[in-house]
């Protein structure tokens, strides 16, 4: 990649805007693409707020926030991504949507451009298979929130070339991330461990072993976790947790990955966590107020 690479990010949701921010902070020119106008506008507002907070804390100098924001160029069409050397897809976890995005990117970008996905569970080998450049497809699974979390999982598809892997390692390091490398298997490393843990916390609540706060406090103080599993599920999004859990159960065929009925019911109710201001907790202005599950829909205490 060039000294000042042009990076594309597809999807201006929570993950996409975080990736765009860290790339711009690392000196990259960023094309942030989303077909939803409100999503793109909201992403720029959110990034500006994050950067201003860094200025207020003395972590960015005067004027630096504006320069970083100036490196992010919003767009609503795939054609504007044609100059990009590296594109990271960060759309919602939908297999069909991601497959179509990869088809569109494959026809838009120069043959030498590399394609990465931020997917947390979908096969990179499958995504690579719908392109004419499968050797230049790889996974970059960032953790949420991207500007704060140091880890990125680099996922090698069956077809990924060594050159693509090495360029991805360099990009991860440029973005200030610590990377781990994982094979292309459902859930990769982090979610293979995390989602069953969150799901078991849901079963614990479903079975009435404790309240939402009891379960999260037990994890924080008993396991020394910085955040309880139910609060973390709200941050990730219960719909995303459910999707990954279903992928793990389907692909491995093991009952230990079976999603709890309580998680299914919360998703059916539209209680997806922070993004809907209600999940296992109720949120106001993005801040946790109180457990929404006291009593829960199953009258659990």
Catalytic residues: 120, 141, 153, 191
Which of 237, 180, 168, 230 has its CA nearest to residue 15? 237
Q: Rounded to an integer, what distance in angstroms lies between the CA atom of residue 9 and that of residue 52? A: 22
């Amino acid at each position: 990649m060039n000294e000042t690479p042009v990076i594309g990010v597809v999807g201006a949701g929570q993950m996409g805007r975080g990736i765009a921010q860290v790339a711009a902070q690392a000196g990259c020119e960023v094309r942030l693409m989303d077909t939803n106008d409100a999503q793109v506008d909201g992403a720029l507002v959110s990034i500006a707020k994050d950067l201003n907070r860094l200025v207020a804390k003395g972590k960015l100098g005067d004027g630096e926030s504006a320069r970083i924001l100036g490196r992010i160029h919003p767009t609503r069409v795939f054609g504007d991504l044609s100059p990009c050397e590296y594109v990271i897809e960060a759309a919602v976890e939908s297999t069909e949507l991601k497959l179509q995005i990869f088809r569109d990117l494959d026809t838009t970008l120069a043959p030498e451009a590399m394609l990465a996905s931020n997917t947390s569970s979908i096969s990179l080998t499958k995504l690579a298979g719908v392109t004419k450049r499968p050797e230049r497809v790889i996974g970059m699974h960032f953790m949420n929130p991207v500007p704060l979390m140091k880890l990125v999982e680099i996922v090698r598809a069956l077809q990924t070339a060594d050159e693509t892997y090495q360029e991805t390692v360099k990009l991860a390091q440029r973005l200030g991330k610590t990377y781990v490398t994982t094979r292309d298997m459902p859930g990769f490393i982090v979610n293979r461990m995390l989602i069953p843990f969150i799901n078991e916390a849901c079963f614990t609540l479903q079975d009435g072993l404790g309240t939402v706060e009891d379960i999260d406090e037990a994890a924080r103080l008993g396991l020394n976790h910085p955040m309880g599993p139910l609060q973390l599920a709200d941050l990730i999004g219960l719909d995303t947790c459910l999707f990954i859990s279903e992928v793990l159960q389907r692909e491995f065929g093991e009952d230990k990955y079976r999603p709890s009925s309580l998680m299914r019911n919360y998703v059916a109710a539209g209680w997806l966590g922070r993004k809907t201001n209600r999940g296992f907790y109720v949120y106001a202005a993005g801040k946790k107020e109180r457990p929404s599950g006291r009593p829960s829909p199953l009258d659990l205490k």
